Chain A
Amino acid sequence: MPEQMEIRCPKLGGQVTVAYCLKEAGALPCSRIIHCWHPYFPVEEYLRNRLTPEDWERCFNQSPKEKISTLIELIEAAKNKPDK
Protein backbone atom coordinates (compact mmCIF):
# COMPACT_ATOMS: atom_id res chain seq x y z
CA MET A 1 0.00 0.00 0.00
CA PRO A 2 1.11 3.57 -0.55
CA GLU A 3 2.79 4.24 2.76
CA GLN A 4 5.09 1.26 2.27
CA MET A 5 5.81 1.88 -1.37
CA GLU A 6 8.76 3.74 -2.70
CA ILE A 7 9.06 5.36 -6.06
CA ARG A 8 12.03 6.96 -7.67
CA CYS A 9 11.88 10.73 -7.42
CA PRO A 10 12.92 12.22 -10.77
CA LYS A 11 13.97 15.41 -9.03
CA LEU A 12 16.26 13.85 -6.46
CA GLY A 13 17.33 10.70 -8.22
CA GLY A 14 16.52 8.61 -5.17
CA GLN A 15 13.79 6.53 -3.60
CA VAL A 16 11.04 8.33 -1.67
CA THR A 17 7.77 7.44 -0.01
CA VAL A 18 4.57 9.40 -0.45
CA ALA A 19 5.19 11.01 2.94
CA TYR A 20 8.10 12.94 1.44
CA CYS A 21 6.10 13.99 -1.60
CA LEU A 22 3.27 15.31 0.61
CA LYS A 23 5.58 17.85 2.26
CA GLU A 24 8.26 18.35 -0.37
CA ALA A 25 7.38 21.99 -0.80
CA GLY A 26 7.02 22.74 2.90
CA ALA A 27 3.37 23.45 3.48
CA LEU A 28 2.48 22.07 0.08
CA PRO A 29 3.03 18.76 -1.65
CA CYS A 30 5.41 18.39 -4.55
CA SER A 31 3.89 19.72 -7.74
CA ARG A 32 4.58 16.35 -9.39
CA ILE A 33 2.85 14.25 -6.74
CA ILE A 34 -0.22 13.44 -8.82
CA HIS A 35 1.86 12.67 -11.86
CA CYS A 36 4.14 10.33 -9.92
CA TRP A 37 1.65 8.62 -7.62
CA HIS A 38 -1.59 8.34 -9.56
CA PRO A 39 -0.88 4.83 -10.80
CA TYR A 40 -0.71 3.58 -7.23
CA PHE A 41 -3.57 5.21 -5.36
CA PRO A 42 -6.17 7.96 -5.95
CA VAL A 43 -3.82 10.72 -4.94
CA GLU A 44 -5.74 13.44 -6.74
CA GLU A 45 -8.91 12.64 -4.84
CA TYR A 46 -6.93 12.58 -1.62
CA LEU A 47 -5.45 16.01 -2.24
CA ARG A 48 -8.66 17.59 -3.48
CA ASN A 49 -10.20 16.75 -0.15
CA ARG A 50 -7.36 18.38 1.76
CA LEU A 51 -6.04 21.35 -0.17
CA THR A 52 -7.83 24.65 -0.36
CA PRO A 53 -8.60 25.83 -3.89
CA GLU A 54 -5.89 28.46 -3.45
CA ASP A 55 -3.29 25.91 -2.43
CA TRP A 56 -4.40 23.65 -5.25
CA GLU A 57 -3.87 26.51 -7.65
CA ARG A 58 -0.47 27.35 -6.20
CA CYS A 59 0.62 23.76 -6.26
CA PHE A 60 -0.61 22.48 -9.57
CA ASN A 61 -1.77 25.25 -11.85
CA GLN A 62 1.17 27.58 -12.04
CA SER A 63 3.16 27.77 -15.25
CA PRO A 64 6.70 26.52 -15.02
CA LYS A 65 9.45 29.09 -14.98
CA GLU A 66 12.47 28.94 -17.19
CA LYS A 67 15.54 27.97 -15.24
CA ILE A 68 17.19 31.30 -15.99
CA SER A 69 14.17 33.16 -14.58
CA THR A 70 14.36 31.09 -11.41
CA LEU A 71 18.05 31.82 -11.10
CA ILE A 72 17.51 35.56 -11.58
CA GLU A 73 14.81 35.57 -8.91
CA LEU A 74 17.06 33.73 -6.49
CA ILE A 75 19.97 36.06 -7.26
CA GLU A 76 17.80 39.11 -6.59
CA ALA A 77 16.50 37.57 -3.38
CA ALA A 78 20.02 36.72 -2.22
CA LYS A 79 21.31 40.22 -3.05
CA ASN A 80 18.57 41.70 -0.90
CA LYS A 81 19.38 39.65 2.17
CA PRO A 82 20.59 42.01 4.88
CA ASP A 83 23.65 40.19 6.17
CA LYS A 84 25.28 39.07 2.96
Chain B
Amino acid sequence: MKQTKVFLDESEMPRQWYNIVADLPTPMSPPLHPGTGQPVGPDDLAPVFPMNLIEQEVSTERWIDIPEPVLDKLCLWRPSPLYRAWNFEKLLDAPVKIYYKNEGVSPPGSHKPNTAVAQAYYNKAFGIKRLSTETGAGQWGSALSMACQMFGLECRVFMVKISYEQKPYRRLMMMTWGADCIPSPSNITQAGRKILEEHPDSPGSLGIAISEAIEDAVGDKEARYSLGSVLNHVLLHQTIVGLEAQKQLEKIGDYPDIVMGCAGGGSNFAGLCLPFVRDKIHGKQTSIVAAEPTSCPTMTRGPFAYDFGDTAMTTPLLPMHTLGHGFVPAPIHAGGLRYHGMAPILSHLLKEKIIEARALDQIETFTAGINWARTEGFIPAPETNHVIAAVVQEAQKAKEEGKEKTILFNWSGHGIVDLAAYDAFLSGKLKKYELPEEELQEALKSIEGLPKP
Protein backbone atom coordinates (compact mmCIF):
# COMPACT_ATOMS: atom_id res chain seq x y z
CA MET B 1 0.00 0.00 0.00
CA LYS B 2 1.27 3.45 -0.90
CA GLN B 3 1.87 5.88 1.93
CA THR B 4 -0.76 8.63 1.87
CA LYS B 5 -0.17 10.44 5.15
CA VAL B 6 2.95 11.48 7.02
CA PHE B 7 2.45 12.02 10.72
CA LEU B 8 4.54 13.64 13.37
CA ASP B 9 4.34 12.53 16.96
CA GLU B 10 3.27 15.23 19.40
CA SER B 11 6.78 15.10 20.81
CA GLU B 12 8.06 16.15 17.38
CA MET B 13 5.94 19.31 17.25
CA PRO B 14 7.96 22.46 16.68
CA ARG B 15 8.67 24.22 19.98
CA GLN B 16 9.38 27.60 18.39
CA TRP B 17 7.76 29.80 15.78
CA TYR B 18 9.90 31.14 12.97
CA ASN B 19 10.19 34.89 12.45
CA ILE B 20 11.11 35.71 8.84
CA VAL B 21 11.95 39.31 9.77
CA ALA B 22 15.30 38.08 11.09
CA ASP B 23 16.28 36.73 7.68
CA LEU B 24 14.94 39.33 5.26
CA PRO B 25 17.68 40.33 2.79
CA THR B 26 16.49 43.94 2.98
CA PRO B 27 14.74 45.50 5.98
CA MET B 28 11.07 46.30 5.90
CA SER B 29 9.93 49.89 6.15
CA PRO B 30 8.27 50.50 9.51
CA PRO B 31 4.57 51.33 9.42
CA LEU B 32 3.94 55.03 9.91
CA HIS B 33 1.43 56.64 12.22
CA PRO B 34 -1.14 58.29 9.95
CA GLY B 35 -1.38 61.28 12.29
CA THR B 36 2.25 62.00 13.08
CA GLY B 37 4.05 60.43 10.15
CA GLN B 38 6.40 58.82 12.68
CA PRO B 39 6.97 55.05 12.93
CA VAL B 40 4.21 53.35 14.87
CA GLY B 41 5.35 52.56 18.40
CA PRO B 42 4.17 50.04 20.97
CA ASP B 43 2.14 52.65 22.83
CA ASP B 44 0.12 53.39 19.70
CA LEU B 45 -1.07 49.81 19.60
CA ALA B 46 -1.44 49.30 23.36
CA PRO B 47 -5.16 50.21 23.46
CA VAL B 48 -6.00 47.19 21.31
CA PHE B 49 -3.23 44.63 21.80
CA PRO B 50 -1.51 43.32 24.93
CA MET B 51 2.16 44.26 25.19
CA ASN B 52 3.35 40.65 24.93
CA LEU B 53 1.81 40.42 21.45
CA ILE B 54 3.07 43.88 20.49
CA GLU B 55 6.57 42.67 21.36
CA GLN B 56 6.10 39.81 18.92
CA GLU B 57 4.74 42.21 16.32
CA VAL B 58 7.98 44.19 16.32
CA SER B 59 10.38 41.37 17.17
CA THR B 60 13.44 40.66 15.05
CA GLU B 61 14.31 37.45 16.91
CA ARG B 62 14.52 34.52 14.51
CA TRP B 63 12.96 31.95 16.81
CA ILE B 64 10.28 32.58 19.43
CA ASP B 65 9.34 29.92 21.97
CA ILE B 66 5.81 28.55 21.84
CA PRO B 67 4.48 28.60 25.40
CA GLU B 68 3.65 25.19 26.85
CA PRO B 69 -0.06 26.06 27.46
CA VAL B 70 -0.37 26.96 23.78
CA LEU B 71 1.22 23.66 22.72
CA ASP B 72 -1.17 21.82 25.03
CA LYS B 73 -4.14 23.28 23.16
CA LEU B 74 -2.63 22.99 19.69
CA CYS B 75 -2.07 19.29 20.39
CA LEU B 76 -5.82 18.75 20.14
CA TRP B 77 -5.37 18.65 16.35
CA ARG B 78 -1.67 19.21 15.73
CA PRO B 79 0.61 18.14 14.26
CA SER B 80 -1.66 18.18 11.23
CA PRO B 81 -1.07 15.38 8.73
CA LEU B 82 0.86 15.87 5.52
CA TYR B 83 -0.99 14.13 2.70
CA ARG B 84 0.06 12.89 -0.68
CA ALA B 85 -2.78 13.61 -3.11
CA TRP B 86 -2.43 10.40 -5.10
CA ASN B 87 -5.95 10.50 -6.56
CA PHE B 88 -5.77 14.12 -7.67
CA GLU B 89 -2.39 13.42 -9.24
CA LYS B 90 -3.97 10.60 -11.20
CA LEU B 91 -6.72 12.88 -12.42
CA LEU B 92 -4.24 15.51 -13.56
CA ASP B 93 -2.05 12.93 -15.30
CA ALA B 94 0.99 15.18 -15.03
CA PRO B 95 4.55 14.50 -13.84
CA VAL B 96 3.93 16.00 -10.41
CA LYS B 97 3.94 14.85 -6.81
CA ILE B 98 1.39 16.80 -4.80
CA TYR B 99 1.62 17.11 -1.02
CA TYR B 100 -0.72 19.12 1.16
CA LYS B 101 -0.98 20.09 4.81
CA ASN B 102 -4.51 19.38 5.98
CA GLU B 103 -5.39 22.30 8.21
CA GLY B 104 -9.05 21.36 8.00
CA VAL B 105 -8.56 18.95 10.90
CA SER B 106 -8.82 21.69 13.53
CA PRO B 107 -12.10 21.95 15.48
CA PRO B 108 -13.34 25.00 13.52
CA GLY B 109 -12.03 23.44 10.33
CA SER B 110 -9.29 25.83 9.26
CA HIS B 111 -5.81 27.12 10.01
CA LYS B 112 -7.20 30.11 11.91
CA PRO B 113 -6.96 28.62 15.42
CA ASN B 114 -3.16 28.38 15.10
CA THR B 115 -3.04 32.09 15.94
CA ALA B 116 -6.35 32.35 17.78
CA VAL B 117 -5.10 30.00 20.49
CA ALA B 118 -1.82 31.88 20.82
CA GLN B 119 -3.54 35.27 20.93
CA ALA B 120 -6.04 34.11 23.55
CA TYR B 121 -3.19 32.76 25.66
CA TYR B 122 -1.14 35.97 25.52
CA ASN B 123 -4.16 38.12 26.31
CA LYS B 124 -4.99 35.91 29.27
CA ALA B 125 -1.39 36.07 30.47
CA PHE B 126 -1.55 39.88 30.25
CA GLY B 127 -4.63 39.96 32.46
CA ILE B 128 -7.23 40.64 29.79
CA LYS B 129 -10.76 39.41 30.47
CA ARG B 130 -12.44 39.80 27.09
CA LEU B 131 -11.54 39.85 23.40
CA SER B 132 -13.42 41.65 20.68
CA THR B 133 -13.12 40.99 16.99
CA GLU B 134 -14.91 41.21 13.66
CA THR B 135 -15.70 38.44 11.25
CA GLY B 136 -17.08 38.22 7.76
CA ALA B 137 -18.41 34.75 7.12
CA GLY B 138 -17.28 33.54 10.52
CA GLN B 139 -14.14 31.49 9.97
CA TRP B 140 -12.04 33.76 12.14
CA GLY B 141 -14.83 34.47 14.60
CA SER B 142 -15.40 30.79 15.24
CA ALA B 143 -11.68 30.12 15.72
CA LEU B 144 -11.32 32.93 18.24
CA SER B 145 -14.49 31.88 20.04
CA MET B 146 -13.06 28.43 20.62
CA ALA B 147 -9.67 29.80 21.68
CA CYS B 148 -11.20 32.22 24.17
CA GLN B 149 -13.21 29.41 25.71
CA MET B 150 -10.02 27.39 26.10
CA PHE B 151 -8.40 30.12 28.17
CA GLY B 152 -11.46 31.39 30.05
CA LEU B 153 -11.83 34.65 28.17
CA GLU B 154 -15.07 36.26 27.14
CA CYS B 155 -15.37 36.79 23.40
CA ARG B 156 -17.48 39.26 21.46
CA VAL B 157 -17.66 38.88 17.70
CA PHE B 158 -19.13 41.53 15.42
CA MET B 159 -20.33 39.56 12.44
CA VAL B 160 -21.24 41.41 9.25
CA LYS B 161 -25.03 41.36 9.22
CA ILE B 162 -25.45 39.90 5.74
CA SER B 163 -23.24 36.97 6.76
CA TYR B 164 -24.93 36.71 10.16
CA GLU B 165 -28.19 36.12 8.35
CA GLN B 166 -26.73 33.91 5.62
CA LYS B 167 -24.39 31.81 7.73
CA PRO B 168 -26.27 30.39 10.69
CA TYR B 169 -23.87 27.52 11.19
CA ARG B 170 -20.80 29.65 11.75
CA ARG B 171 -22.82 31.85 14.09
CA LEU B 172 -24.00 28.79 15.98
CA MET B 173 -20.44 27.50 16.24
CA MET B 174 -19.45 30.76 17.90
CA MET B 175 -22.38 30.61 20.28
CA THR B 176 -21.66 26.96 21.09
CA TRP B 177 -18.15 27.98 22.07
CA GLY B 178 -19.65 30.61 24.34
CA ALA B 179 -19.03 33.77 22.33
CA ASP B 180 -21.36 36.71 22.04
CA CYS B 181 -21.99 36.99 18.30
CA ILE B 182 -23.55 40.32 17.32
CA PRO B 183 -24.79 41.34 13.89
CA SER B 184 -22.97 44.44 12.66
CA PRO B 185 -23.93 47.26 12.45
CA SER B 186 -25.18 47.03 16.00
CA ASN B 187 -26.57 49.52 18.47
CA ILE B 188 -23.94 48.79 21.09
CA THR B 189 -21.27 51.02 19.55
CA GLN B 190 -21.37 54.59 18.32
CA ALA B 191 -19.96 53.49 14.98
CA GLY B 192 -22.81 51.03 14.58
CA ARG B 193 -25.50 53.42 15.77
CA LYS B 194 -24.32 56.07 13.31
CA ILE B 195 -24.65 53.66 10.41
CA LEU B 196 -28.06 52.46 11.55
CA GLU B 197 -29.32 56.06 11.84
CA GLU B 198 -28.33 56.75 8.25
CA HIS B 199 -29.05 53.31 6.80
CA PRO B 200 -31.42 51.34 9.05
CA ASP B 201 -31.38 48.40 6.66
CA SER B 202 -27.61 48.34 6.24
CA PRO B 203 -26.36 44.81 5.54
CA GLY B 204 -23.08 45.79 7.15
CA SER B 205 -19.55 45.54 5.88
CA LEU B 206 -16.22 44.36 7.14
CA GLY B 207 -15.13 47.97 7.58
CA ILE B 208 -18.07 48.75 9.85
CA ALA B 209 -17.52 45.57 11.85
CA ILE B 210 -13.84 46.41 12.39
CA SER B 211 -14.80 49.89 13.60
CA GLU B 212 -17.24 48.37 16.06
CA ALA B 213 -14.78 45.80 17.37
CA ILE B 214 -12.05 48.39 17.88
CA GLU B 215 -14.40 50.80 19.61
CA ASP B 216 -15.65 47.99 21.79
CA ALA B 217 -12.12 47.07 22.86
CA VAL B 218 -10.85 50.62 23.36
CA GLY B 219 -13.84 51.44 25.55
CA ASP B 220 -13.12 48.65 28.04
CA LYS B 221 -9.83 48.51 29.95
CA GLU B 222 -10.22 44.78 30.48
CA ALA B 223 -10.80 44.10 26.79
CA ARG B 224 -8.53 43.93 23.78
CA TYR B 225 -8.97 43.45 20.05
CA SER B 226 -7.85 40.45 18.05
CA LEU B 227 -7.06 40.17 14.35
CA GLY B 228 -6.74 36.92 12.43
CA SER B 229 -4.58 37.95 9.48
CA VAL B 230 -2.12 40.46 8.03
CA LEU B 231 -0.11 41.34 11.16
CA ASN B 232 3.39 40.03 11.82
CA HIS B 233 2.50 38.16 14.99
CA VAL B 234 -0.38 36.40 13.22
CA LEU B 235 1.94 35.16 10.49
CA LEU B 236 4.47 34.16 13.13
CA HIS B 237 1.96 31.89 14.89
CA GLN B 238 1.03 30.27 11.60
CA THR B 239 4.60 29.22 10.81
CA ILE B 240 4.04 26.05 12.81
CA VAL B 241 2.35 24.75 9.64
CA GLY B 242 5.45 25.08 7.47
CA LEU B 243 7.80 23.95 10.20
CA GLU B 244 5.82 20.76 10.62
CA ALA B 245 5.75 20.25 6.86
CA GLN B 246 9.53 20.52 6.68
CA LYS B 247 9.91 17.79 9.29
CA GLN B 248 7.34 15.59 7.56
CA LEU B 249 8.97 15.94 4.16
CA GLU B 250 12.35 15.23 5.70
CA LYS B 251 10.94 11.96 7.05
CA ILE B 252 10.15 10.78 3.55
CA GLY B 253 13.22 12.33 1.96
CA ASP B 254 11.45 14.84 -0.26
CA TYR B 255 11.55 18.60 -0.79
CA PRO B 256 9.17 20.79 -2.82
CA ASP B 257 10.00 22.59 -6.04
CA ILE B 258 6.92 24.73 -5.57
CA VAL B 259 5.25 25.85 -2.32
CA MET B 260 1.79 27.37 -2.61
CA GLY B 261 -1.06 28.81 -0.58
CA CYS B 262 -4.12 30.95 -1.09
CA ALA B 263 -3.67 34.53 0.04
CA GLY B 264 -6.25 36.99 1.21
CA GLY B 265 -4.72 38.56 4.26
CA GLY B 266 -1.91 36.08 3.83
CA SER B 267 -1.85 34.11 7.05
CA ASN B 268 -2.29 30.58 5.74
CA PHE B 269 0.00 31.21 2.79
CA ALA B 270 2.64 32.68 5.08
CA GLY B 271 2.21 29.94 7.64
CA LEU B 272 3.21 27.24 5.21
CA CYS B 273 5.62 29.22 3.07
CA LEU B 274 7.76 31.36 5.38
CA PRO B 275 9.96 28.50 6.63
CA PHE B 276 10.55 27.61 2.97
CA VAL B 277 11.24 31.27 2.18
CA ARG B 278 14.03 31.00 4.73
CA ASP B 279 15.46 28.05 2.81
CA LYS B 280 15.13 30.01 -0.43
CA ILE B 281 16.94 33.00 1.03
CA HIS B 282 19.72 30.58 1.96
CA GLY B 283 20.02 29.14 -1.52
CA LYS B 284 17.26 26.59 -2.15
CA GLN B 285 15.72 26.76 -5.63
CA THR B 286 12.03 26.85 -4.76
CA SER B 287 9.15 28.74 -6.30
CA ILE B 288 6.79 30.19 -3.72
CA VAL B 289 3.41 31.17 -5.11
CA ALA B 290 0.42 32.95 -3.56
CA ALA B 291 -2.95 32.34 -5.22
CA GLU B 292 -5.31 35.28 -5.09
CA PRO B 293 -8.94 35.69 -6.13
CA THR B 294 -9.80 37.80 -9.13
CA SER B 295 -12.35 38.08 -11.83
CA CYS B 296 -11.46 36.64 -15.19
CA PRO B 297 -9.91 39.17 -17.58
CA THR B 298 -10.24 36.86 -20.55
CA MET B 299 -13.98 37.07 -20.22
CA THR B 300 -14.14 40.79 -20.68
CA ARG B 301 -14.03 42.63 -23.92
CA GLY B 302 -11.91 45.35 -25.29
CA PRO B 303 -8.23 45.99 -25.11
CA PHE B 304 -6.74 45.65 -21.71
CA ALA B 305 -3.93 47.29 -19.93
CA TYR B 306 -2.67 46.09 -16.61
CA ASP B 307 -1.49 48.14 -13.77
CA PHE B 308 0.02 46.90 -10.60
CA GLY B 309 -0.92 50.19 -9.00
CA ASP B 310 2.03 50.44 -6.72
CA THR B 311 5.58 49.32 -6.77
CA ALA B 312 5.14 47.05 -3.78
CA MET B 313 2.62 45.07 -5.81
CA THR B 314 0.38 44.91 -2.82
CA THR B 315 -2.56 45.16 -5.15
CA PRO B 316 -3.95 42.69 -7.61
CA LEU B 317 -3.78 43.17 -11.33
CA LEU B 318 -6.39 45.61 -12.46
CA PRO B 319 -7.62 45.34 -15.98
CA MET B 320 -8.60 48.68 -17.48
CA HIS B 321 -10.63 48.45 -20.61
CA THR B 322 -11.73 51.02 -23.12
CA LEU B 323 -15.39 51.92 -23.42
CA GLY B 324 -17.03 53.43 -26.45
CA HIS B 325 -15.38 55.34 -29.24
CA GLY B 326 -12.11 56.72 -28.09
CA PHE B 327 -13.28 56.93 -24.52
CA VAL B 328 -10.58 55.80 -22.17
CA PRO B 329 -11.56 55.96 -18.54
CA ALA B 330 -9.21 57.55 -16.10
CA PRO B 331 -7.01 54.83 -14.75
CA ILE B 332 -8.38 53.37 -11.61
CA HIS B 333 -5.74 53.21 -8.96
CA ALA B 334 -5.44 49.55 -8.33
CA GLY B 335 -4.89 50.32 -4.69
CA GLY B 336 -8.50 51.23 -4.33
CA LEU B 337 -9.35 47.68 -5.18
CA ARG B 338 -7.30 46.11 -2.50
CA TYR B 339 -9.88 45.12 0.05
CA HIS B 340 -7.91 44.72 3.21
CA GLY B 341 -4.33 44.61 2.23
CA MET B 342 -1.93 41.76 2.07
CA ALA B 343 0.36 41.25 5.03
CA PRO B 344 3.27 43.73 4.94
CA ILE B 345 5.77 40.87 5.21
CA LEU B 346 4.32 39.28 2.09
CA SER B 347 4.19 42.59 0.23
CA HIS B 348 7.86 43.02 1.04
CA LEU B 349 8.71 39.53 -0.20
CA LEU B 350 6.76 40.21 -3.40
CA LYS B 351 8.65 43.43 -3.93
CA GLU B 352 11.91 41.57 -3.44
CA LYS B 353 10.72 38.93 -5.95
CA ILE B 354 11.22 36.15 -3.40
CA ILE B 355 7.62 35.10 -3.74
CA GLU B 356 5.15 35.58 -6.58
CA ALA B 357 1.40 36.11 -6.78
CA ARG B 358 -1.09 34.63 -9.17
CA ALA B 359 -4.73 35.60 -9.67
CA LEU B 360 -7.43 33.03 -10.36
CA ASP B 361 -11.08 33.52 -11.15
CA GLN B 362 -13.83 31.91 -9.13
CA ILE B 363 -15.12 29.62 -11.88
CA GLU B 364 -11.70 28.07 -12.30
CA THR B 365 -11.31 27.73 -8.54
CA PHE B 366 -14.66 26.05 -7.94
CA THR B 367 -14.03 23.69 -10.84
CA ALA B 368 -10.75 22.71 -9.22
CA GLY B 369 -12.44 22.34 -5.82
CA ILE B 370 -15.11 20.06 -7.20
CA ASN B 371 -12.49 17.91 -8.90
CA TRP B 372 -10.58 17.78 -5.65
CA ALA B 373 -13.64 16.67 -3.68
CA ARG B 374 -14.40 13.99 -6.25
CA THR B 375 -10.91 12.55 -6.10
CA GLU B 376 -9.50 13.25 -2.64
CA GLY B 377 -12.83 13.23 -0.81
CA PHE B 378 -12.39 16.30 1.37
CA ILE B 379 -14.54 19.29 0.34
CA PRO B 380 -12.27 22.35 0.39
CA ALA B 381 -13.20 25.78 1.71
CA PRO B 382 -13.86 28.12 -1.23
CA GLU B 383 -10.69 30.06 -0.40
CA THR B 384 -8.70 26.83 -0.49
CA ASN B 385 -10.01 26.22 -4.00
CA HIS B 386 -7.83 29.09 -5.20
CA VAL B 387 -4.64 27.30 -4.37
CA ILE B 388 -5.96 24.01 -5.73
CA ALA B 389 -6.62 25.77 -9.05
CA ALA B 390 -3.10 27.16 -8.95
CA VAL B 391 -1.78 23.63 -8.34
CA VAL B 392 -3.69 22.48 -11.42
CA GLN B 393 -2.00 25.22 -13.44
CA GLU B 394 1.43 24.15 -12.18
CA ALA B 395 0.70 20.52 -13.03
CA GLN B 396 -0.37 21.45 -16.57
CA LYS B 397 2.76 23.54 -16.96
CA ALA B 398 4.93 20.63 -15.79
CA LYS B 399 3.20 18.38 -18.29
CA GLU B 400 3.77 20.83 -21.13
CA GLU B 401 7.41 21.24 -20.18
CA GLY B 402 7.91 17.54 -19.53
CA LYS B 403 9.49 18.29 -16.16
CA GLU B 404 8.90 16.44 -12.92
CA LYS B 405 7.85 18.70 -10.09
CA THR B 406 7.06 18.31 -6.41
CA ILE B 407 4.33 20.63 -5.19
CA LEU B 408 3.44 21.39 -1.59
CA PHE B 409 0.42 23.47 -0.66
CA ASN B 410 -1.64 24.48 2.32
CA TRP B 411 -5.10 22.91 2.32
CA SER B 412 -6.25 25.67 4.60
CA GLY B 413 -9.72 24.49 5.54
CA HIS B 414 -12.76 22.42 4.74
CA GLY B 415 -15.92 23.74 3.12
CA ILE B 416 -18.54 21.86 5.07
CA VAL B 417 -20.11 25.04 6.40
CA ASP B 418 -19.66 26.81 3.07
CA LEU B 419 -21.81 24.53 1.00
CA ALA B 420 -24.01 27.45 -0.06
CA ALA B 421 -21.09 28.58 -2.19
CA TYR B 422 -20.97 25.16 -3.83
CA ASP B 423 -24.72 25.35 -4.32
CA ALA B 424 -24.29 28.67 -6.13
CA PHE B 425 -21.66 27.11 -8.38
CA LEU B 426 -23.48 23.84 -9.03
CA SER B 427 -26.80 25.58 -9.70
CA GLY B 428 -25.23 27.93 -12.22
CA LYS B 429 -25.42 31.16 -10.26
CA LEU B 430 -21.68 31.51 -10.74
CA LYS B 431 -22.09 31.01 -14.44
CA LYS B 432 -19.24 31.95 -16.71
CA TYR B 433 -20.61 33.77 -19.66
CA GLU B 434 -19.83 36.66 -21.92
CA LEU B 435 -22.62 39.03 -22.77
CA PRO B 436 -23.32 39.38 -26.49
CA GLU B 437 -23.08 42.96 -27.67
CA GLU B 438 -26.84 43.33 -28.10
CA GLU B 439 -27.38 42.27 -24.50
CA LEU B 440 -25.14 44.89 -22.98
CA GLN B 441 -27.82 47.51 -22.64
CA GLU B 442 -30.28 44.90 -21.43
CA ALA B 443 -27.80 44.00 -18.74
CA LEU B 444 -27.59 47.60 -17.64
CA LYS B 445 -31.35 47.88 -17.57
CA SER B 446 -31.61 44.76 -15.46
CA ILE B 447 -30.05 46.45 -12.47
CA GLU B 448 -31.96 49.71 -12.78
CA GLY B 449 -34.24 48.75 -9.92
CA LEU B 450 -31.44 47.94 -7.53
CA PRO B 451 -30.15 50.30 -4.86
CA LYS B 452 -28.07 53.03 -6.40
CA PRO B 453 -24.84 54.15 -4.89
Closest to A5 in B: B429
Return chain B residues, CB-CB under 8 Å to A66.
31, 341, 344
Taking chain B's interface residues, is the majority helix, strand, or loop, or is none over half, making it mixed?
loop
Asked if residues A50 and B446 are in contact (CB atoms below 8 Å), the reply is no
Return chain A residues, CB-CB under 8 Å to B2.
none
A59 and B195 CA atoms in complex are apart in Å by 18
A35 and B316 CA atoms in complex are apart in Å by 10
- Known contacts: A14-B421, A45-B444. The answer to whether A79 contacts B339 by CB under 8 A is no
Asked if residues B299 and A39 are in contact (CB atoms below 8 Å), the reply is yes
Apart from A14-B421, A20-B162: 6 A-B pairs, beta carbons within 8 A: A1-B442, A14-B162, A18-B450, A44-B321, A67-B341, A78-B219
> Which B residues form the contact surface with A (CB < 8 A)?
31-35, 40, 44-45, 47-48, 136-139, 160, 162-163, 166-167, 190, 195, 198-199, 202-203, 205-207, 210-211, 214-215, 217-219, 227, 230-231, 264, 293-297, 299-300, 310, 314-316, 318-319, 321, 323, 329-330, 332-333, 335-341, 344, 361-362, 382-383, 418, 420-421, 424, 429-435, 440, 442-444, 446-447, 449-453
> Which A residues form the contact surface with B (CB < 8 A)?
1-16, 18-20, 22-32, 34-42, 44-48, 50-51, 55, 59-79, 81, 83-84
A19 and B201 CA atoms in complex are apart in Å by 13
Asked if residues B329 and A44 are in contact (CB atoms below 8 Å), the reply is yes
Q: Closest Cβ of chain B: how far from A60's Cβ, in Å?
A: 5
Asked if residues A1 and B443 are in contact (CB atoms below 8 Å), the reply is yes
Return chain B residues, CB-CB under 8 Å to A77.
211, 215
Asked if residues A24 and B205 are in contact (CB atoms below 8 Å), the reply is yes
Return chain B residues, CB-CB under 8 Å to A46.
444, 447
- Known contacts: A38-B300, A44-B323, A75-B214. The answer to whether A15 contacts B44 by CB under 8 A is no
Q: Closest Cβ of chain B: how far from A34's Cβ, in Å?
A: 7
Q: Closest Cβ of chain A: how far from B380's Cβ, in Å?
A: 13
Asked if residues A11 and B219 are in contact (CB atoms below 8 Å), the reply is no
Return chain A residues, CB-CB under 8 Å to B316.
35
Identify which of B166, B211, B336 gathers the most chain A CB atoms within 10 Å of its CB: B336
Return chain B residues, CB-CB under 8 Å to A50.
452-453
Closest 9 CB pairs of A and B: A13-B137, A78-B218, A12-B136, A68-B31, A41-B443, A84-B219, A39-B299, A64-B335, A74-B214
